[in-house]
Amino acid sequence: MKKIESFQVNHLNLKRGIYVSRKDFVNENALTTFDIRMKEPNKEPVINTAELHAIEHLGATFLRNHSVYDKLTVYFGPMGCRTGMYVIFKGDLKSTDVIEIIKEMFLFIKNYDGEIPGSDAASCGNYLDMNLPMAIYEASKFYEEILCNLKDENLNYPK
C-alpha cells in the first residue's frame, strides 16, 4: 500500500502551526484540508480526549455560525493522534488565507463562557467526555504562543 500524504510529513521536525495538509478536487471545486497542529508531535503530551472533544464542539459551532465560513466549512474535528485538529474549507487555499479565521475561532474558544453546545445525551454520543476549563487552557496556549506569533515554520511543513 502507498503511504498516505499525512504520514509522509516528517513529524520529528513538525512545529505547532497551521499547515495545508492536502487539497482535493470534487469536479472542479477545490477542498483544502488544514492541519491545525496544537502540540509538537512526539515532544509534548497530547491533548486529552475530553478537552479535544470540547474544542471540536466549540470550533464546529463557531464555524457553522460564522457569517462567511458557515458556507465554506466542510469539516472540523480532532486528529487521531490528539496533537491537533483538522479543518476542511471549500476553495484552493494557502495557510496564510485562513490565519484570521483560525485566530478568530481560537479566540472564541479561549474566551468561551457557557454550556458547551451539543453537550447533552440527545445531541452527542459521548457527551460526558468534555472538559471546558482544559479546552480553554489548550486554546489559550495555542492562541497566545503560536497564533499571535506565526512564522514561516508554523505555516509550511518541514522538508
> Running along the chain, 159 residues long, what does each successive block of 10 average in pLDDT?
75 93 95 98 96 98 98 97 97 98 98 96 96 98 98 92
The predicted pLDDT at position 96 comes to: 98
Asked whether residue 154 is domain-assigned, the answer is no
Specify the CATH number for the domain of residue 10.
3.30.1360.80
Q: String of b and e for 16-53 (b: at least 16 CB within 10 Å)?
A: bbbbbbeeeeeeeeebbbbbbbbbebeeeeebeebbbb
- pTM of the shown model: 0.94
Q: How many domains does the chain have?
A: 1
Amino acid, res. 146:
I
Between vectors from CA 67 to CA 65 and to CA 70, what angle results, nearest 5°?
A: 55
Q: Which domain holds residue 137?
A: 5-149
Asked whether residue 62 is domain-assigned, the answer is yes
Kindly state the cell numbers that stand for 102. Answer: 483560525
The predicted pLDDT at position 2 comes to: 78
Asked whether residue 64 is domain-assigned, the answer is yes
CB 17 within 8 A of CB 150: yes
Alpha helix (H) residue ranges in 1-73: 49-64
The predicted pLDDT at position 12 comes to: 85
Write the DSSP symbol of residue 156: S
CB atoms near residue 73 (< 10 Å): 19
Asked whether residue 79 is domain-assigned, the answer is yes
The predicted pLDDT at position 159 comes to: 78
The predicted pLDDT at position 10 comes to: 78
Asked whether residue 158 is domain-assigned, the answer is no
The predicted pLDDT at position 99 comes to: 98
Contacts of the segment 24-29: beta carbons below 8 A, 24+ positions apart? 29/90
